[in-house]
Amino acid sequence: MPPLSSSAPGVRQAAFRFRCIACGDLSDTASQNFRCAQCGDLLEITYPHWKETQPEAQKLKATWRQRRLSQSGVDLSGVWRFRDLLPALQNDDQAITLREGNTPLYELPQCARITGVPGLFAKHQGLNPTGSFKDAGMTVAATFARIAGFRWVACASTGNTSASMAAYAARGGMRSLVLVPDGKISWSKLSQALDYGAVTCQLRTDFDGCLRLLQELVLRAPVYQLNSINPFRLEGQKTLALELLEQFDWQPPDHIIVPGGNLGNSSAIGKALLEMRDLGLISRLPKLSVIQAEGANALVRTLREAGGKRLISVPAETRATAIRIGNPASWKKAVHVLEATGGACEQVTEVEIAQAKAEIGAEGIGCEPASAVTLAGLKKLVKQGFVKPEESVVLVLTGNLLKDPDYTMDFHRGDLFKGTSDERADTALKPLRRPPIVLDATLDAVIGALEQAER
- Applying CB under 6 A, the site for ligand F0G has a residue count of 23
User: Does residue 198 belong to the site contacting ligand F0G (CB under 6 A)?
Assistant: no
Smallest separation, CB 357 to ligand F0G (Å)? 12
d(CA 63, CA 69): 10
The residue within the footprint of ligand F0G, chosen from 77, 115, 143, 157 (CB under 6 A), is 157
User: Does residue 345 belong to the site contacting ligand F0G (CB under 6 A)?
Assistant: no
DSSP H or E run through 44? strand 43-46
Nearest to 111 by CA among 309, 361, 344: 361
Stretch that binds ligand F0G, among 22-30, 156-164, 358-366, 443-451 (CB under 6 A): 156-164
Stretch that binds ligand F0G, among 91-99, 154-162, 353-361, 428-436 (CB under 6 A): 154-162
User: Does residue 297 belong to the site contacting ligand F0G (CB under 6 A)?
Assistant: no
User: Does residue 341 belong to the site contacting ligand F0G (CB under 6 A)?
Assistant: no
* Residues 257, 60 contacting (CB under 8 angstroms): no
Cα dihedral sign, 17-20-25-29: negative
User: Does residue 103 belong to the site contacting ligand F0G (CB under 6 A)?
Assistant: no
* Site mask for ligand F0G (CB under 6 A), range 247-286, x = bound: ------------xxxxxxxx--------------------
Smallest separation, CB 323 to ligand F0G (Å)? 5
User: Does residue 141 belong to the site contacting ligand F0G (CB under 6 A)?
Assistant: no
The residue within the footprint of ligand F0G, chosen from 232, 245, 399, 411 (CB under 6 A), is 399
Smallest separation, CB 399 to ligand F0G (Å)? 3
CA distances from 72 to 67, 135, 198 (A): 9, 19, 29
Stretch that binds ligand F0G, among 61-69, 195-203, 368-376, 385-393 (CB under 6 A): 368-376
User: Does residue 214 belong to the site contacting ligand F0G (CB under 6 A)?
Assistant: no
CA distances from 3 to 10, 18, 30, 132 (A): 10, 20, 14, 33
Report the side by side order of strands in the sheet with 345-348.
105-107, 120-124, 393-397, 255-259, 287-293, 345-348
User: Does residue 323 belong to the site contacting ligand F0G (CB under 6 A)?
Assistant: yes
CB neighbours of 96 closer than 8 A, spacing ≥ 6?
Answer: 139, 142, 143, 146, 168, 171, 172
The residue within the footprint of ligand F0G, chosen from 322, 354, 356, 416 (CB under 6 A), is 322
Smallest separation, CB 109 to ligand F0G (Å)? 24
User: Does residue 127 belong to the site contacting ligand F0G (CB under 6 A)?
Assistant: no
Cα dihedral sign, 154-374-140-22: negative
Report the side by side order of strands in the sheet with 43-46.
26-27, 17-20, 43-46
CA distances from 154 to 23, 175, 234, 265 (A): 27, 9, 16, 19
132: DSSP letter: B
Query: Can you give the binding site for ligand F0G, defined by CB under 6 A?
Result: 132, 134, 157-161, 228, 259-266, 322-323, 368, 370-371, 398-399
